[in-house]
Amino acid sequence: MSELADCRQAFAETLEELMGCDARVVVLTNDSVASSNLRRIRERFPQRLVNVGIAEQNIIGIAAGLANGGKIPFVCGASAFLTGRALEQFKIDLGYARSNVKVCGMSSGLAYGALGPTHHSIEDLAWTRAIPSLTIVVPADPLETAQAVRAAFAHSGPVFLRLSRIPVPAVHPRDYRFSIGRAVVLKPGNDVTLIANGTMVARALQAAGLLEQDGVAARVVNMSTLKPLDREAILEAAEQTAGLVTIEEHSVCGGLGSAIAELVVSHKPVPVRILGVPGVFAPTGSTHWLFEHFGLNAEGIRQAALDLLGGRISHAG
């Protein structure tokens, strides 16, 4: 795999580029210029960077008002606070009102590591997924992050971009083209399917490598758009492989695994294993320690796939 990169750089560069092309683009932050990597934007577009202070309900409301006034606001701040603290504003001011606002939840999932559960954002997808009219994207690498920012800009309506600060390798070929609502198969295979998003996609690919040594051909799907879900890609995987293993840097309640299970249980019931944070507040530990602790690594994913297959490895290779 390639060297690791922080997606926030691709995020900020793309946003800066969009601001250079379109005066309607404004950036809002809740006193997180540095952690959202907005320093250059602040220098170059001081009039279009609005720091509302530490006030998340207000930042979402203000963004909705700016959108009413013709702007295209990108709201940047820690995902835990932008979603949890302002959830009702998310629901009403953005979702119900269909405001053209893009919320960029930074440092999502377990990115804050030992800072603890107040700063972990492992419920954000469950909360926001229940909001109609919202588009939710969890990009997996810098290339996809940059394209997701552009897609959010081009999309008319509210978008939640869930971003991380955990360095990740590139998982897509250079000619990859992201489009909202379309999952991508990163590795073909017909025994079992590994479906992941965000930081977990690279780990799913690693797991597929291990499974290959076990004689298991695992398909790897990057489900970077959580909402609307690419139903076709999921049902195809359910049809063509023995079952699905979902992997997310999120609670197992209400996120990617839940969304997929909801679909297949009605349309193509197959075994599903949902990997994530198992409905607990995480103990103290660095992000990488927590990933290991919860089995969110290549070995944990491999074990889940083997468990799902239960020795039924019929047509490996």
Partner 1 sequence: MHADPSHPLSLETDCRFLQSQADWIRRCSLRMVYRAGLGHTGGDLSSADILAVLYFAILRVDPQNPTWPDRDRFILSKGHCAASLYATLAAAGFLPLKDLEDFAQPLSPLSGHPDRTRVPGVEASTGSLGHGLPIAVGAALAAKMDGSSWRTYVLTGDGELQEGSNWEAAMAAAHYGLDNLTLIIDRNQLQQGDATERTVRLEPLAEKWRSFGWAVAEVDGHDHAALLSLFRRLPLQASKPSCIIAHTHKGRGVSFMQDRPEWHHRVPSEQELVLALRELGGERE
Residues of this chain that interact with partner 1 (CB under 8 A) are 26, 47-48, 50, 52-53, 55, 57-58, 60-71, 73, 88-89, 92-93, 96-98
Nearer to partner 1, 58 or 303 (CB): 58
Q: Do the strands 72-78 and 25-29 form a parallel or antiparallel pair, or are they unpaired?
A: parallel
What does the block give as tokens for 222? 């990057």
Nearer to partner 1, 66 or 186 (CB): 66
CB of 17 to partner 1, least distance (A): 20
CB of 148 to partner 1, least distance (A): 24
Nearer to partner 1, 133 or 179 (CB): 133
CB of 15 to partner 1, least distance (A): 17
Nearer to partner 1, 90 or 178 (CB): 90
CB of 98 to partner 1, least distance (A): 5
* Number of residues that this document lists for the chain: 317
Nearer to partner 1, 88 or 262 (CB): 88
Nearer to partner 1, 16 or 249 (CB): 16
CB of 71 to partner 1, least distance (A): 5
Q: How far apart, in whole angstroms, are the C-alpha atoms of residue 139 and residue 76?
A: 16
Nearer to partner 1, 93 or 230 (CB): 93
Nearer to partner 1, 29 or 251 (CB): 29
CB of 197 to partner 1, least distance (A): 29
Please give the C-alpha separations between residue 133 and each of 56, 95, 103, 136, 254, in angstroms, as whole numbers: 21, 6, 14, 10, 17
